[in-house]
C-alpha cells in the first residue's frame, strides 16, 4: 500500500489493565460470575498491546471455543459455558479489542441482547456486527442451507433499520465498531443485472440512520461474496453513502492484492476486515477447514503474506487518524487468537507510511 496510507503518527495505547501486569504475569485475573477467568497475558503480548495504536481493534469471530484454554481463558470450559460467560474474560485479553458477533446473521437480535454484550466489555472495546440474513440473503433457505425461494425483503431498508441497525445502536451504543451487511453468494439470475442490485443497495444505505450520535466511531460496511460486485459502480455506491468496503478474505473472492484497488479508491477512511477462510481450502472449504483445524489451539496453515499486507493497511489507516476493526476466524490459519498475536507483531514491524508530498 505504501504511500496510499499516509498521515501523522498516532498516540500510544493505554497500559494493560492491572490484572494483566506483573513481572511474570502472576497477578490473579478478574473472574466472571460464572467462573471463566482470563488467561494472564505474558510480557511480550502485553508490550505489543501497549505499543498498538488505540485506533486499532483486532479480534476474532465469536469467542466460545474450548480450545483457546491457556490462550484466552484459564482452565477448561465447555462451549456452552463460554458462549454464556466467556465474553468478559475474552475482553480482558490485551490484544482482543473487538469481536465479530456472527449469531446476529442467523436470527435478528434484540436491543436487550446487545446490551448484555455491551455490559461485559470495557469502554474502548468495539463490536463488529453482522446484519441478519433476513436482510442480506437474496434467497430464503431450508435448514440445510439450500435456497428454496426468493427473499421478499432482500436489502429492504425498513427491515434493515427495524431488525438490525436500531437495536444494535440502542443496545451497543458507542461500542459499535462496524455494522456489516454481508451479502452471501447471489443466484446467477440476479448477478446478471448488477445495475439493479447496486440501485437496491444504494436505496438501503441511503435510508440507514446516522450512527455518529450514538456510536461516534461506528461505520456501516458492506461485505460481498461474489466478485461481480467489485466494480467502479460499487465503489461509487459506497462512497456516496459514506459506507466502507469490508475487506472479505475468503476464497470466493479474489486474493487480497486484487482487492486493494477498491480500498485505495475509497481512501481515506476507516478500515474494516473479516478474515474468514484460508484460500488453501477453496470456496466451499469451510467444513474441511473446521475439521482440520479443531480444536483451534495452534496455527496449522500460517499465512504470513496476508498478515503482512493487512499490517501495512492497518498501520497506515491508524497513523492517518482512522479507526480499524479486524476480525479473524479460526479457519483463517487454525487459531484466531494466535493469528491476532502474529498480526499485531506484523503491525509493529510494518514501516511507517511516508508523509504526503
> How do residues 241-260 score in pLDDT, each as one tens digit?
999 999 999 999 999 999 99
Q: Is residue 269 part of a domain?
A: yes
Distance CA 43, CA 20 (A): 9
Domain count within the chain: 1
Q: Which of 90-104, 132-146, 176-190, 288-302 has the lowest mean pLDDT?
A: 132-146
User: What is the band of 57 on the pLDDT scale with cuts at 50, 70, 90?
Assistant: very high
Minimal CA–CA distance to 204: which of 169, 146, 164?
A: 164
pLDDT of amino acid 15:
43
pLDDT of amino acid 33:
44
What CATH number is associated with residue 120?
Answer: 3.20.20
Mean pLDDT of 175-184: 98
Q: Is residue 5 part of a domain?
A: no
Contact 229, 194 (CB under 8 A): yes
pLDDT of amino acid 34:
56
Q: Is residue 256 part of a domain?
A: yes
Q: Which of 13-22, 200-209, 321-330 has the lowest mean pLDDT?
A: 13-22
Residue with cell 456501516: 220
pLDDT of amino acid 353:
67
Q: Is residue 254 part of a domain?
A: yes
Mean pLDDT of 300-309: 97
β-sheet bridge partners, residue 222: 181, 245
pLDDT of amino acid 16:
58
The share of the chain scoring above pLDDT 90, in percent, equals 84
Contact 126, 177 (CB under 8 A): yes
Task: Write out the three cell numbers for 320.
Answer: 492517518
Q: Is residue 70 part of a domain?
A: yes
Domain that holds residue 197: 13-303+326-340
pLDDT of amino acid 352:
73
Phi, then psi, of 327 in degrees rounded to 5: -115, 145
Q: Is 307's pLDDT higher than 60?
A: yes
Residue with cell 478478574: 30
> Please, what is the average pLDDT of the chain?
90
Q: Is residue 190 part of a domain?
A: yes
Q: Is 325's pLDDT higher than 90?
A: yes
Residue 92: count of CB within 10 angstroms of its CB: 25
Minimal CA–CA distance to 92: which of 14, 45, 30?
A: 30
R_g over Cα of the chain: 20
Q: Is residue 277 part of a domain?
A: yes
Q: ∠ CA 345-10-275 to the nearest 5 degrees? A: 45
pLDDT tens digits for range 13-41: 334 554 343 322 334 444 444 589 999 98
Q: Is residue 262 part of a domain?
A: yes
Minimal CA–CA distance to 68: which of 337, 286, 352?
A: 337
Q: Is 79's pLDDT higher than 50?
A: yes
User: What is the band of 200 on the pLDDT scale with cuts at 50, 70, 90?
Assistant: very high
Amino acid at each position: 500500500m505504501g504511500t496510499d496510507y499516509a498521515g501523522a503518527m498516532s498516540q500510544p495505547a493505554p497500559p494493560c489493565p492491572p490484572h494483566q501486569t506483573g513481572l511474570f504475569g502472576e497477578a490473579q485475573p478478574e473472574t466472571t460470575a460464572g467462573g471463566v477467568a482470563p488467561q494472564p497475558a505474558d510480557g511480550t503480548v502485553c508490550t505489543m498491546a501497549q505499543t498498538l495504536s488505540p485506533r486499532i481493534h483486532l479480534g476474532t469471530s465469536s469467542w466460545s471455543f474450548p480450545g483457546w484454554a491457556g490462550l484466552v481463558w484459564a482452565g477448561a470450559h465447555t462451549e456452552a459455558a463460554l458462549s454464556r460467560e466467556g465474553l468478559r474474560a475474552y475482553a480482558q485479553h490485551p490484544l482482543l479489542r473487538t469481536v465479530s458477533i456472527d449469531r446476529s446473521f442467523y436470527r435478528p437480535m434484540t436491543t436487550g441482547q446487545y446490551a448484555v454484550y455491551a455490559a461485559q466489555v470495557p469502554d474502548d472495546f468495539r463490536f463488529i456486527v453482522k446484519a441478519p440474513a433476513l436482510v442480506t440473503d437474496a434467497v430464503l433457505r431450508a435448514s440445510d442451507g439450500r435456497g428454496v425461494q426468493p427473499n421478499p425483503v432482500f436489502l429492504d431498508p425498513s427491515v434493515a433499520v427495524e431488525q438490525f441497525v436500531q437495536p444494535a445502536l440502542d443496545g451497543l451504543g458507542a461500542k459499535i465498531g462496524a455494522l456489516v451487511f454481508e451479502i452471501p453468494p447471489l443466484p446467477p439470475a440476479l448477478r446478471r443485472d448488477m445495475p439493479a442490485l447496486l440501485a437496491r443497495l444504494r436505496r438501503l444505505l441511503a435510508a440507514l440512520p446516522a450512527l455518529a450520535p450514538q456510536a461516534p466511531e461506528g461505520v456501516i460496511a458492506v461485505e460481498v461474496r461474489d466478485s461481480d460486485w467489485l466494480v467502479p459502480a460499487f465503489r461509487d455506491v459506497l462512497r456516496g453513502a459514506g459506507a466502507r468496503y469490508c475487506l472479505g478474505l475468503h476464497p470466493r473472492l479474489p486474493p487480497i492484492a486484487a482487492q486493494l484497488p477498491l480500498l485505495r479508491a475509497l481512501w481515506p477512511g476507516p478500515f474494516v476486515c473479516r478474515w474468514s477462510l484460508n484460500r488453501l481450502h477453496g470456496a466451499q472449504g469451510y467444513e474441511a477447514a473446521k475439521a482440520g483445524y479443531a480444536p483451534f489451539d495452534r496455527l496449522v496453515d500460517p499465512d504470513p503474506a496476508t498478515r503482512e499486507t493487512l499490517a501495512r493497511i492497518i498501520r497506515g489507516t491508524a497513523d492517518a487518524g482512522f479507526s480499524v476493526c479486524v476480525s479473524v476466524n479460526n479457519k483463517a490459519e487454525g487459531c484466531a487468537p494466535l493469528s491476532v498475536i502474529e498480526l499485531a507483531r506484523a503491525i509493529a514491524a510494518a514501516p511507517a507510511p511516508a508523509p504526503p508530498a
